[in-house]
Structure 1
C-alpha cells in the first residue's frame, strides 16, 4: 500500500494539472492575465501585432465581424471608442474570428470592403486560424478585451461588453467599457472588470 501512495499522488497531480490546462483553454484569459502577442493580417495586407505600436499604452481589442446584427449595431460605437481613446494611448484593434466558410460575408475581401466603406481608423484583422480568439476566450461578436502595457507585457484589464444596450445606443444606461477606461487611465483596476458579452456566437470552423 505504501508503495502505491507515491504513484497515486503522481496520478492526482497529473490529473489536476490536466484539469487546469483544460480550464484555461476553455475559459481563455481572465482579468490580470498576461496576453500573448500575435501577428494577424490587416485589411491592407500588412501584419499587425500588439508590440508594433510602440506608443500604445494598451489596446481595446474587439472581436467583431461583418455579418452579426449585434456587431453591426455596435459598429459606430466601436469607431467612437477608437476616436476617444486612441489619442489617450488605447487604440482599437478589431479582429474578425469568423470562418468565412460558415459565414461567407466575413471573407477577407468583404472585410476590406467594410473597412473602406466605414473608413475604419483602426486595424481590422483576420484571425484565419481562430487561434487568437480561442486564446483570449472570445465567444461572441462583439467581445471586448482591454489590455494594458506593463513593461514588455500586456495585461488584461477588462473583459466583456461595451454597454448595457445592444440595440440602441441612445438607450444605454451604463457604459461598461468607458467606466472601466476611466479607472484604467487613472492607474487603477477597473471597478467592474468583467461583464457578459452579448452578441452572435463566433462561427467556428467545422471539424
Structure 2
C-alpha cells in the first residue's frame, strides 16, 4: 500500500483541482469579480494556514533579510497574484473542462522553461529523451484538441444546476464567442506559463534565473 500512496495523492489533487475549476467557473458566471475572488481565496487560505505555520515552524524561523523579502514578494507576485488573476479571467472566457486540460500542460511548460534556463537538458539519442519529447507532443496535442475543438454540449442524466450556466445570455456573450474563446485559451496558457516560471524560480533561485536569461 505504501507504493500506491503517491499515486492516490496525485489523483486526489486532480479531483480537488477539478472541483475548484467547477466552483470557480460557477462563481464567475454568477457575476463574481475575478480579482475579488482571488483575494478572498488567498485571504481564506492565509487565515487557515497561518496558525499551523506558527505552531509547526514558529520556533525555527530564520531571520528575514530585505533581499529574501524581495525575492518572496517577486515570487508571490508572479506565481500567485499574476497567475491566478489571469487564470480567473481566462476561466471566465472559457470553461472548467478547458482549464483542467490546459493545467495538465504545466509539466510541459515548466520543462521547457527549465531547458531554456539551462536547468534541464534533453538528449534525443537516449530513450529518456525520446520519452520526454513524446510525452510533450501527446500532452500538447490533447490540450490543443480541447482548446480549439468545441463539440456539442453533453448533459448527463444527473445534471445538477451547479454545473449548468447561470445565464444563457452571459454564456452566449462569453465562452460562446469564438474570438473570446481563443482569447481565453491564450490567457490560460499565459497563466500556466507564469506558474511554470514560478516553479523554476523555486528550484533555481532568482539569481540563477537572471543568469540564465543573460546566457540565453
**TM value normalised by structure 1:** 0.22
Q: Which has the higher contact order (CA 8 A, sep 6+)?
A: 2
Specify the structure having the higher radius of gyration (Cα).
Answer: 2
Structure number with the higher strand fraction is: 1
**TM value normalised by structure 2:** 0.21
